[in-house]
Amino acid sequence: MREQLKSLIISGFYKEAKKIFSHMSANEGRDCLLELGYEKESISIYGFLCSALCDKEDAKLHCLASEVLTLPLCHLEGAYATAFYHAKKAVEMDPDDIELKEALLLFNSIPDNLLNEEDAFKLAKDILEKKPYSKVAIDVLKDTM
């Protein structure tokens, strides 16, 4: 099933790929797309996720799009900025999800520094109110003080 999904995505058959993807667990689908990203380094993976987001916008899909762009496709021009958009959108759609906020906070530490210090500080404090031992948030607070 994984290999069939990968083949469909690379070939641009997104409708068929979405049927297979919808029957996978969230972790299995995520792992499959990241694996494909490292294997092929193809923008078609991002195209597939955009197609899925057009069908049904979802915080977890935005988060996955951000991951694909910051991990296997990070070498593409504009990948970090686009990933930052998706991370912000994920938090906007599910503001109570601490893991999404922690993922967004990472954009303060990448070389592009897309999340400014003031916003990173506020976000880190918000995270620590709900998850007092968040290493990502603690590190940001250390760096901004």
Tell the residue number behind the tokens 């078609």, with chain if given. 44
pLDDT band at 109 (very low <50, low <70, confident <90, very high): confident
CA-to-CA separations, 135 to 33, 70, 88, 94, 128, in angstroms, rounded: 27, 20, 20, 21, 9
pLDDT band at 113 (very low <50, low <70, confident <90, very high): confident
3-60 pLDDT, tens digit each: 999 999 999 999 999 999 999 999 999 999 999 999 999 999 999 999 999 999 999 9
Q: What is the mean pLDDT of residues 110-129?
A: 91
CA-to-CA separations, 109 to 11, 22, 48, 51, 143, in angstroms, rounded: 35, 33, 28, 29, 10
Whether the full predicted model's pTM is greater than 0.85, yes or no, is: yes
